Amino acid sequence: MKEIFLYTSDKIKLAVNHYQTGYDSVVILAHGWFMTKDSKAFSEMAEMFSEYFDVISFDFRGHGKSSGFYTFTSREIIDLKTVVDFAKKHYKKIYLAGFSLGASIALIHCAQNNDVDKVIAVSPPCDFNKIENRMWKKEAFIPTLKKFELKRWLSVRPSIIIHKKIKPIDIVKQIKIPILFIAGKKDPTVYCWHTQKLYENAKCEKRFELFENGIHAEDLCLDAPEKFINLCVNWLK
């Protein structure tokens, strides 16, 4: 794995992990809020995906080693486009795998740019104003505590400016790229109806998978890695 840095059109420095294993296709991993490319979850996931594809994981602005402040998807669209543009210079096929807010950003990107081959959207909020996020409940608090990493949490820098956001539910019908939607039935953060609603409104080639005992985003991979990776690889292949 090689760490590199890219610069966005609005001069944000993005930290990127590039896993080069010799494939002509790449999976770009887009993390969610309070996650980073170097978190245990995404480091392990990148290694698992790298058995089948090259992998690019990166820190959105205001997270980890990237500069700037987090804007809750508004400017992060620029970050993802920067990474996709980099990948287009090196690969024949490009796949996006987004998690939570990263999944919503991936969907927005695909509505605005028809430049990737397939997408995986894991636990995407369909409307940011309707995220449940029951963090005080046992089913949410315990998994969060188990994967707690102080360095990761301290690296997040939210913007104090309120930016206008695009609702994924408003743009999902515009997407022409095949999408695999994945949700956890017991997700206490973004209830599974968000993903179901996006799936129902999508007009492209699509598939919906519900993990009966699954919770939120990257936890679906952490709790059932073989099932999750096989599902994703089979969709992308």
For the record, the structure tokens of 168 come out as 């994924």
Average pLDDT of the chain to the nearest whole number: 91
CA distance 207 to 93: 20
Residue type, 128: F
Q: How far is CA 50 from the centre of its chain?
A: 16
Range of 114's domain? 2-236
Pick the closest to residue 96 from 86, 110, 85 (CA basis).
Answer: 110
Distance from C-alpha of 188 to C-alpha of 115, rounded to nearest angstrom:
33
Under 8 Å between Cβ of 230 and 209? no
Q: Which residues of 10-41 are buried (b: 16+ CB within 10 A; e: fewer)?
A: eebebbbbbbeeebebbbbbbbbbbbbbbbeb
Q: What is the pLDDT of residue 152?
A: 63
Please measure the distance between the N-terminal and C-terminal CA atoms of the chain and give it in whole angstroms. Answer: 23
Q: How many CB atoms lie within 10 A of CB 237?
A: 10
The CATH number given to whatever domain includes residue 143 is 3.40.50.1820
The arithmetic mean of pLDDT across residues 104-133, rounded, is 93
| Edge-to-edge order in the sheet of strand 25-30 | 2-7, 13-19, 54-58, 25-30, 93-99, 118-122, 179-184, 206-211
Number of domains the chain is built from? 1
| Number of residues in the chain | 237
Cα–Cα distance list, 74 to 64, 71, 84, 150, 184 (Å): 18, 5, 17, 26, 25
Task: Give tens-digit pLDDT for 58-114.
Answer: 999 999 999 999 998 889 999 999 999 999 999 999 999 999 999 999 999 999 999
**How much is the pLDDT for 85?**
98
Q: How many CB atoms lie within 10 A of CB 151?
A: 10
pLDDT tens sequence across 18-50:
999 999 999 999 999 889 999 999 999 999 999
- Asked if pLDDT for residue 155 goes beyond 80, the answer is no
What pLDDT, on the 0 to 100 scale, is given for residue 166?
A: 92
